[in-house]
Structure 1
C-alpha cells in the first residue's frame, strides 16, 4: 500500500491554499499603500510658514497644458495635491510655485499633507521639502522628482 492510498486528497492542494492566502495578503498590502481619495487635497500652512527662497521653480511663459489651479488656491507655506494628475504644487515663499510628483519615493504612496514647508507621506511618515522636494525625514532616501508647471498670470498649468 502506498502513502497516497492511506491519505486520499479531498480538497485543494496545500500549495494552492498557500498561494491563495499569499495573493490575498499582497492585495491588501498594495491597497493600503494607495490613495483612496481621488479628489484634490488642499492643506493650509500651519503657524510659522517657511523662510524658503523665492528664486527659481516658477516656470512662466507661453505654453499650453492643463490648468491645475489659480495661484490664490495654493497657500503660502503649504500646497495642494492633485491626485488625478499625480502632482503636488507648493508655494514655499510668496509668488514662488514648485511642483513635484505626488508619489512618495519610499514605497509609492500618495503624499497628502503640506504644511510649514514640508510635504508628508501618510503611509510611513517620510517628509520632503516643499522648496526642492529633498528628503527631510525618512524612510524615503530619494527626493520627490520635480514636475514641470507654468504660471501665466494667476493660472498654474501642468506643462
Structure 2
C-alpha cells in the first residue's frame, strides 16, 4: 500500500468514526433535548396529571403524607401537588421559560427561583410570567398511601 492509499484509508476510517459519533450525539440530544411543544422527555409530556384511587403500576415517588395540602413537593423532574384535600396533581419540574427547576410550592403556587415565574398547583397554568406556557402534566396514580409515576 502506498502512502497516499494508507492516508486515504485513514481519512475514510476517521470520517466513519466521526459520522458514527455525530449520529450517536444526535440520538442522545433527541432523546434528552426539548421539542418545540415545550415537552422535554417522555416523562414530561402531558398525559393527564390527575391521580385517582385504584391499583396502578409505576414507581413509587412519594407517600401521600409527604405532599402538604395546598402545597407540594419537587421530586426529581416532577413536582407533585395537593391543591385540595385528597387531590394530587403532577407536572414537570422544569420551568417553561428558561428550563430552571422549580423550587417550592406554597399557597397554591409552584414557584421558579430563576426569573420569578409562577404556576398554578391546580393545573400547571402560568399565573405570573415571564413564562408563557404551562408546566406539562405528568401521569401519576394514587395507590393506597403511595403516589406512583406511570
- 2:103 is aligned with 1:112: yes
Q: Which runs of 5+ in 1 are unaligned?
A: 1-55
Tell me how many residue pairs correspond in the alignment: 102
Q: Deviations for 1:59-86, whole angstroms, at most 9, x for unmatched residues? A: 3332221101110110001100012xx1
Q: TM-score if structure 2 supplies the norm length?
A: 0.66
What is the match of residue 67 of structure 2?
74
What is the match of residue 51 of structure 2?
58
Structure with greater helix percent: 2
Q: TM-score if structure 1 supplies the norm length?
A: 0.62
- 2:148 is aligned with 1:157: yes
Consecutive aligned runs of 4 or more in structure 1 exceeding 4 Å deviation: none
What is the match of residue 24 of structure 2?
none
What is the match of residue 37 of structure 1?
none
Q: How does 1:23-102 map to 2 (within 5 A)?
A: 57-83=50-76, 86-102=77-93
Distance in 1 (alpha carbons) for counterparts of 2:142 and 2:74: 17
Q: Is the 8 A contact 2:97 2:131 kept in 1?
A: yes
Aligned to 1:97, what secondary structure does the other structure show? strand
What is the match of residue 31 of structure 2?
none
| RMSD between aligned residues | 1.2
Q: Deviations for 1:26-78, whole angstroms, at most 9, x for unmatched residues? A: xxxxxxxxxxxxxxxxxxxxxxxxxxxxxx92233322211011101100011
